[in-house]
Structure formats: structure tokens, C-alpha cells
Amino acid sequence: MTLRLKALFAGAVIFTAGTASAATECIAPANPGGGWDFTCRQIGKILYDIGQVDQPVQVTNMAGGGGGLAYQSVANERTDDADLIVAASQATATRLAQDAFGGATADQVRFVGAIGADPGVIVVGADSEFQSLNEMLDAMAADPGSVSFAGGSAAGGFDHLKVLQLAQEAGVEDIRAIRYIGVDGGADAITQTVGGFTQGMTGDMSEVVGFIESGDVRVLAVLTEERVPGFEDIPTAREQGYDVVAVNWRGLYVPKDISDERFQEWADKLRAVGESDEWKAAMEANGLAPFLVTGDDFQSFIDGNIADVRTLSQEIGVIQ
């Protein structure tokens, strides 16, 4: 997956920004405050600010099923809505790879593109006994059920996979004994940990920045190859001896039956957002890495990515 991301960084094709659009709705498939909500609100605001749409974008939160409720709604009920965009991420692709959306498949929508990569993080409450990732994983190696996690994806989803990969690297023998609570979005997940209901939170940097600034949490590790600019005091898992890299691309999909012309318009609009100074400032403020791939190039990435995740999920035992 990492090699595929690197290839796309190098080979992304540049398109021309589109023209102004009619009223647009962006569905965030989770409760307010999480990564999908962030995606809709930031992209929606910038689309309007830079003149890619002529009316403010309406954000609709549709939590349920780790993104499955929104996906089924778009795939079955709004198949030709040309003014609908939906926040998506690696979590979306992971759930599709694991057939976790009630039989829904990736070809029931069209993936427009991604404009940022959200680094994975492992987080504890400010008063946690764990001062390092090593301490946490040592405890899990001794007793896999002694540390519980909350994440914004359903069990077996992308957030859950981050923990399982780290546990494998740490030599945890029974990774299925690790306790994981899947909730609807990163905001709910961090609330579980801050409230003391779980010992750790597995999510993405953009979901925890506000909690870092308020002092409610400590980030034990960021799951990137190098430390994240602006958050250089947070060590990577690799530095601590665990070779796990997990970044969550953030982007959009649209209904399947819109016209090719309209699909390309959305790809162009998303690229305009990704190339804007406003989006670059949002990335810096929220710890995102550049990752701009749109249109047919992104659809090719999704196809390969889903195949990769399916293989990884089988290896870890999440699916058969």
C-alpha cells in the first residue's frame, strides 16, 4: 500500500479547475467532529471561498454502520444526483474490501479523488499510565485484553487494523483478544478515551489536533514514515521499533449514474481545492500530508487499494 501511494504521489495528473456549480450537498458519514465531517466542512468551505460553487455547501451528517448507511443511501437512492458529494477515506475502501457494507461494492459509486493524507495516530488520555508506545504494547503482549481501544471505524475497519498491525509487530500472540470498540467517527472515539472508557484511541491526526491543543490527550505514536511537520514532538511508530505506516487518504465519492462530464467537473473542482492556498493552510493546521490524486487516476488507485486491503485483512484474520 505504501509503494502504491508513493507511485501515485509521483504520477498524479493535473487537471484544470471547473466552473461554478449549483447548490451542493456533502454527506459526512459520521457524527460531527470526526474526520469525514472535517473533510466535508473544509472542502465545502473552500469550494465556495474559491468560487468553484456559487452557493455555500450544505453538510449533512449521516452516521451509521461505519459509513455504510451513507454508502447504501447514495448507491441505492441517489444514484444520479449530480450535486451530491460524499466524504470518503481509507476507512471507506477498507470496509468495501472486507464486504462490510451489506454486500455493497466499490463500483456502485464513483470515486472522485483524494486531496490529503491523514496520518494514523495512537492516542491515550492525558493521565494515562502509558508514557510510550512501547509501554502500551508491552502490556498488550503480556495480556492482549488488558488494553482496550476506541476507533472511528467499525470492528475490522481501518482504525482497528492499525492496532492489529502494531500488535503483530510487538509479538502479541492472540491479536483477536484485543478489545476494540467501533463508534461513528473519531470525535466519539476520542470521547471514549478521554472519558476513561477505553485506554487508547486509534484514529487520525486531524481528529485529535484540538484535543492535543487542549491538553486532554497524549499521542504515543504517529503512523508515518517521518515525523509530521508542525507536530515534530510526536515520534513515529518506526522510531520506536514497530514498522507500521498507516495514512488515511481523505477525499470524495459521487453517485454512480451522474454523467462523465459531471464526474470530471467534480474531479476538477476537487483538484482546484487541493491546489489552493486555503487547503494548504488547512493541511498544515491539521497535520495532513499532501496527497492529490483525482479522476480516473484515483479510481485506478481505489481498485488496487481495495485488493491490497483484502489481502492484508485475510493475513491478519479479519476476513476469511
State pLDDT tens for residues 285-315: 888 888 899 999 999 999 998 998 898 888 7
Q: DSSP secondary structure string, 259-285?
A: -HHHHHHHHHHHHHHHTSHHHHHHHHH
Residue 233 is inside which H or E element, if any?
none
Q: What values do phi and psi take at 308, rounded to 5?
A: -65, -45
Contact 188, 232 (CB under 8 A): no
Longest dimension (CA), the chain: 58
Distances (CA, A) of 293 to 28, 255, 257: 20, 19, 21
Please tell me the distance from the alpha carbon of residue 204 to that of residue 248, in angstroms, as a whole number.
Answer: 7
**Identity of residue 184:** D
Percent of the chain with pLDDT over 70: 93
Residue 11 has pLDDT above 70, yes or no: no
- Taken in order 223, 194, 215, 187, the sign of the CA dihedral is positive
Work out whether strand 25-28 and strand 84-89 pair parallel, antiparallel, or are unpaired. Answer: parallel
Please tell me the distance from the alpha carbon of residue 175 to that of residue 156, in angstroms, as a whole number.
Answer: 12
Q: DSSP secondary structure string, 212-225?
A: HHHTSEEEEEE-SS
**Identity of residue 283:** M
State pLDDT tens for residues 36-72: 999 999 999 999 999 999 999 999 999 998 899 999 9
What's the CATH code, domain 119-222?
3.40.190.10
Residue 9 has pLDDT above 80, yes or no: no
Listed by start position, the domains of the chain span: 2-118+249-316, 119-222
Please tell me the distance from the alpha carbon of residue 20 to that of residue 3, in angstroms, as a whole number.
Answer: 36
* Chain-centroid distance, C-alpha 141: 27
State pLDDT tens for residues 106-149: 999 999 999 999 899 999 999 999 999 999 999 999 999 999 99
Residue 181 has pLDDT above 80, yes or no: yes
Q: DSSP secondary structure string, 170-232?
A: TT-S-GGGSEEEE-SSHHHHHHHHHTTSSSEEEEEHHHHHHHHHHTSEEEEEE-SSSPPTT-T
Please tell me the distance from the alpha carbon of residue 191 to that of residue 194, in angstroms, as a whole number.
Answer: 5
Indicate if 119-222 has the same CATH topology as 2-118+249-316: yes
What's the CATH code, domain 2-118+249-316?
3.40.190.150
The pLDDT score that the predictor gives to residue 66 is 86
